[in-house]
Amino acid sequence: MLLAIDAGNTNVVFALLDGREIKTRWRIATDPRRTADEYAVWLNQLLMLEGYAMADVDAVIVATVVPRALHNLQVLADKYFKTTALVAGQSPVDWGIELDVAEPASVGADRVVNAIAAHHLYAGDLIVIDFGTATTFDVVDYRGAYKGGIIAPGINLSLDALVAAAAKLPRIAIAPPENRSVIGRTTADAMLIGVFWGYVAMMEGLVARMRAEIGRPTKVISTGGLAVLFNDNSDIFDAIAPDLTIQGLALLYERSLQTE
């Protein structure tokens, strides 16, 4: 079985796959100091709870936007799964798609993996929105080439910055306002409206501008933890793909086998 690891700025997601089928997944807070031994103790217990063993894993693939986290994940694969971790974007796991941007080496691995999976799953021109620490908007053309995109502060990052910079503002949870009014009658309501509906307006405005620039019919695919929340309050999404990054890693693993 394949252990696919998506190491982001906030969380590391581990998914166990049989072929392309995701059998189970777990997440842990990203900490570059976390050792391979700590990962192994945690994973061993979770695997057993799901009826699996560490010996069931015979391949590991990693995509990371946190360079300092990579070494310990590679040690985890070597020491506990007896295999060399494949790293997305590094031989033999080359991207296999055109990165049609000014600085291809600077594109985050998660964004490229999402582009690969989205093009495999959906036809035509695409905008992929990924809700993470940052919210990314990425354009994939009908040929599967990655064309670039937008990086915006994630909604939780925006809220944290607001609360940190304003001494009297309370910490609130991200949720849809109870009604669709955009005039808050309490401080908490005013904050929630500003953060939530402000974010919806930003997404809708950016997608409209991107579609106009692309100039062809374009589907919008969303992924990440807040995709469902925003889908209930906006009509810009054509599909939600919660496991897009993991699906992209599975595809990259399959392609690496074909090149051996």
Give per-residue pLDDT as tens, 62-74.
999 999 999 999 9
Answer yes or no: 125 catalytic.
no
Q: How large is the average pLDDT for residues 15-21?
A: 95
CA distance 101 to 120: 20
Q: How large is the average pLDDT for residues 241-257?
A: 94
pLDDT at position 260, please?
60
Query: What confidence tens digit (pLDDT) does each residue in 182-194 have?
Result: 898 898 888 888 8
pLDDT over 90 (residue 162): no
pLDDT at position 173, please?
82
For Cα atoms 240, 107, 121, give the angle at the middle one, nearest 5 degrees: 30
- Indicate yes or no: pTM above 0.85: yes
Phi, psi for 84 (deg, rounded to 5): -85, 125
Other C-beta atoms lying within 10 Å of the C-beta of residue 90: 13
- Catalytic entry in 110, 138, 141, 243: 110
pLDDT over 90 (residue 167): no
Q: What is the mean pLDDT of the chain?
A: 93
Contact 69, 36 (CB under 8 A): no
Query: What confidence tens digit (pLDDT) does each residue in 72-122 have?
Result: 999 999 999 999 999 999 988 889 999 999 999 999 999 999 999 999 999
Query: What confidence tens digit (pLDDT) does each residue in 187-246 have?
Result: 888 888 888 899 999 999 999 999 999 999 999 999 987 888 888 888 999 999 999 999
Helices (H) and strands (E) in the chain, counts: 7, 10
Two tokens, residue 243: 């496991």
Phi, psi for 230 (deg, rounded to 5): -75, -30
Q: Taking the C-alpha atoms of 134, 13, 106 and 112 in order, what is their torsion angle to the nearest 10 degrees?
A: -100
Q: What proportion of the chain, given as a percentage, has pLDDT over 70?
A: 99
Nearest Cα to Cα of residue 230 among 131, 111, 157: 131
Nearest-Å Rg of the Cα atoms of the chain is 20
pLDDT at position 45, please?
96
Contact 12, 6 (CB under 8 A): yes
